[in-house]
Structure formats: structure tokens, C-alpha cells
Amino acid sequence: MLEVKNLTKKYGEKTVVDNLSFSIEKPGVYALLGTNGAGKTTSIRMILGMLAKNGGEVLWDGKPFSAAELNVGYLAEERGLYPKYSLLDQLLYFASLKKVPKKDAMVRIKYWAERLQVEEYIFPPKTAKGKQAKANQADQLSKGNQQKIQLMAALISDPEFLILDEPLSGLDPVNTDLFKGIIREEMAKEKYLIMSSHQMPTIEEFCSDITILNRGQAVLQGNLNEIKRSYGRVNLFVKSDSNIAPYIADFGLQIVAKTPSEYHLKVRDEQQARQFLGKLMTENVPLVKFELREPSLHEIFVEKVGDNNEER
């Protein structure tokens, strides 16, 4: 169990994280959300002990959290490979920091290299003259492949607790699915994970509990499904081959968005939606889609943080 209690960080008179508290009581993925500069990465670095805190404490099973004692994996938003050293040497070095024996490290490196499709960079084939080609260096890789190497470094110790800061940032769709598959595998192993991401659909896909930060303060916390239920099912999506604009106007429904084929409407409650559906059916209006749902995390996020671009 991870407990974060009243975590606070100040730079001079400016408070960038203000009494942040949350807990992860069982395996799963916890989300830290916020605009750029809201304090997410600062909070993660304080949890890991990489950054001194001005107040609060972090506990693991009731004892002070220590990244040196607990098996932790960390994929940072700002990638940090050594540009001029071979990838294999770097991975072995990162493994040694986690006290992984070299023999075990090599087995894991080979597994993850194949899993992430980067064998040719870590174990380059021999040249035409039979000599071993020079191992690729980090600065010779694309950003996506660098991200794969950093994920390998985070996973090489088979961590009990894993922190992923913007893990899917900049990845193409194929590699996004690859990373998602690996995250699901870690979840299946009952790992504890913290994920920070700007991609709201990804958070909805993986995370059961969330904290939304705004200007360093938690403005919304709790179970994501319960939060969404508390808003009610007020988002209505209607698609028809007929013109339904007059019916929408008659009912006084708010048009949130409109595409050439579909309306996104805001209703007062489910009863109003049923009445609207009844009217369309009575008038024999052909319906392709009529979907009533809770607000998305994207909509909730925008409501809570608004137009906040202040850097922290």
C-alpha cells in the first residue's frame, strides 16, 4: 500500500504542490492528471525521493518509502539515456543499480528486446566481413525506439511498483498498442502503477482511481466510475438519416457539437432523453444511433481545470 500524505513543494514563495494526499490500497493503475505545469512530475519526483519536499510524507506499507529499498521502475517523461554509450552497456548498468545479476539481466534484456522489437539495435548483427558491428548508441535511435529502451530500463528489475510518466507520448499507433499490451501484462501481474498522461482515453482504459491537479492542488479525487456516475447520464448522441434539428429545437436541447451525421446533445436528465426518444419514434424518424452516457474524463477534466496554462 502506498500512502502520500500532505506532500508539499515550494520554490521561494511559490507553492507548486500544495498538500497532496492520496493512497493506492491494492494493485492497479492510479492516474495523476493535470495541465502542463500542474505539479504532476514534481509530485512523482518527490514520491521517488529524487526531489526534496517541503512537507508531508510518503509511506509504503506504513513505513517511509525508499526507492533504494523497494523495487521501483520509473519511466520518466523526459527521456534520459546516455547518448554516446552502447545500449546494451546502459541496460546492464541500469540492471546493476537494481542489483539484478548480470546473467539474469541478459536474459531479461533479450526478452524485452524481442518483445519491443529492438534486437537489431541492442544486439547488432555481424558485418559482411564477419566482424561484430558497433552497437548502436541512443542518439542514433528514433524517439520512439529510445522510449522503448527506457521502458526496458524501467522493467528490467521486474519492479513491484511502476511509475509511468507520459508513457505513450509521441508513439505511433502500432507502438502505442505494443506499450498498452505491456501495461496490461504488468497489471495482470498485480503490480502497483502510477500513470501520468494527457491522453484521457488511455486513462479511462487503464485507471480505476484518479487525482486531477490544478495549480498544484487536488481538485478532484476518487474512483473514476463513481465520479462519472455522480455527473449522471446527460450526454446524448443521436444519428439519423433524417433532419432532426426541428425536434431538437422543440425540446430545447443544448447542442454540444454537431458533425455532418451526428449530434452531441446535453439533456437535463434521463427522463428528458426518454421523452425525446419517444417523440422521434412517434414521428417514425429513422434512428441510426441513440446513445445516452455519462460525461467523458476529457469533459470532466476540462470542467475542473478550465483554461490553465500557468507553468509549474
Read off the amino acid at residue 282: T
Residues 38/42/43/44 CA torsion (nearest 10 deg): 120
Q: What is the pLDDT of residue 260?
A: 85
Q: What is the pLDDT of residue 212?
A: 94
CA 9 centroid distance within chain: 23
Q: What is the pLDDT of residue 306?
A: 76
Q: What is the pLDDT of residue 312?
A: 37
* pTM of the complete model: 0.82
CA dist 95 and 83 (Å) reads: 18
CA dist 49 and 68 (Å) reads: 9
Read off the amino acid at residue 308: N
Q: What is the pLDDT of residue 61?
A: 92
CA 279 centroid distance within chain: 42
CA dist 207 and 67 (Å) reads: 23
CA dist 199 and 207 (Å) reads: 12
Q: Which residues of the chain have pLDDT under 50?
A: 309-312
Cβ pair 238, 289 in contact under 8 A = yes
Q: How far apart are the first and last CA of the chain?
A: 28
CA dist 267 and 117 (Å) reads: 48
Which grid coordinates belong to 61? 506499507
Quick one: which of 169, 194, 188 has its CA closest to 179?
A: 169
Which grid coordinates belong to 293? 452516457
CA distances from 13 to 16, 36, 283 (A): 10, 20, 64
Give, for 275, the enclosing helix (H) or strand (E). helix 270-282
Cβ pair 135, 158 in contact under 8 A = no
CA dist 302 and 34 (Å) reads: 10
Q: What is the pLDDT of residue 36?
A: 84
